[in-house]
Amino acid sequence: MNVNEFQSKIGVLFKDDRVLKEALTHRSYLNEDEGWPYAHNERLEFLGDAVLELVTTRYLFNAFPKLEEGDLTMMRSALVNTKMLAKTAGEIHLEDYLSLSKGEGLGSKRAMETILADAFEALIGAIYLDQGYEEAEKFIRNKILSRVDEIKEQGYRDAKSILQERTQEKLKVTPTYEVVKEAGPEHQKVFKVGVYFKKKLIAMGEGCSKQEAETEAAKKALADEVV
């Protein structure tokens, strides 16, 4: 784990690189190297997630004073969802510096996206602890909030919102989502979710989180032109 090289790549020089090494340690690696002196990154991920949400919410609130709460929420979701965070992690080559078991490294693309997104949030948590709020905000602005124009051009309204709008308008019902199946270990679950109109199953989706699975189910329902 060449943390000096990684610090140069991300433009952050840590006062205590032990917190950075923790951020770059996946839970699975502890089973592979019992003498590894650092904790896994899940606590830092928890912290980083909160910092990321606060910084992003504050930025959008100030930058778009005319947007309603629903639009702000959807824009924030588009900026900080698993795919976007994994994409950003890929751009800084985070995977090359992550301490990860060989088995996890050979997992599916979707599972690796989740691992990278979680590690990116842990990195934010580490920057916040070591450097303070302002440096964490600077990092988030450079890596995440710089994508706002890209999100606006692509359209940030998610599939669930579009499906709900159409079903309420045309069918006078609100889609509901139900977890049909959970599989895999606790830290790497795969969820299968169904979207229902009243009690009728319309489509199914899978994902590494309930939210991702719900979104996939909504996308399939839209693709099938059920409304």
| Burial class of residue 146, CB neighbours in 10 A (0-12, 13-18, 19+) | exposed
182 has catalytic annotation: no
The rounded distance, in Å, linking the Cα atoms of 27 and 142 is 28
Select which of 22, 121, 137, 216 is catalytic: 121
**In which region does residue 14 sit, left (phi positive, over 0), alpha (psi from -120 to 50) or beta (all else)?**
beta
Helix (H) or strand (E) holding 113: helix 109-131
121 has catalytic annotation: yes
Which distant-in-sequence residues (6+ apart) come within 8 Å of 108 by Cβ? none
121-134 b/e (C-beta count within 10 Å ≥ 16 → b): bbbbbbbbbbbeee
Select which of 49, 137, 212, 216 is catalytic: 49
Contact in structure between 161 and 74 (CB atoms under 8 Å): yes
Please give the positions annotated as active site.
49, 121
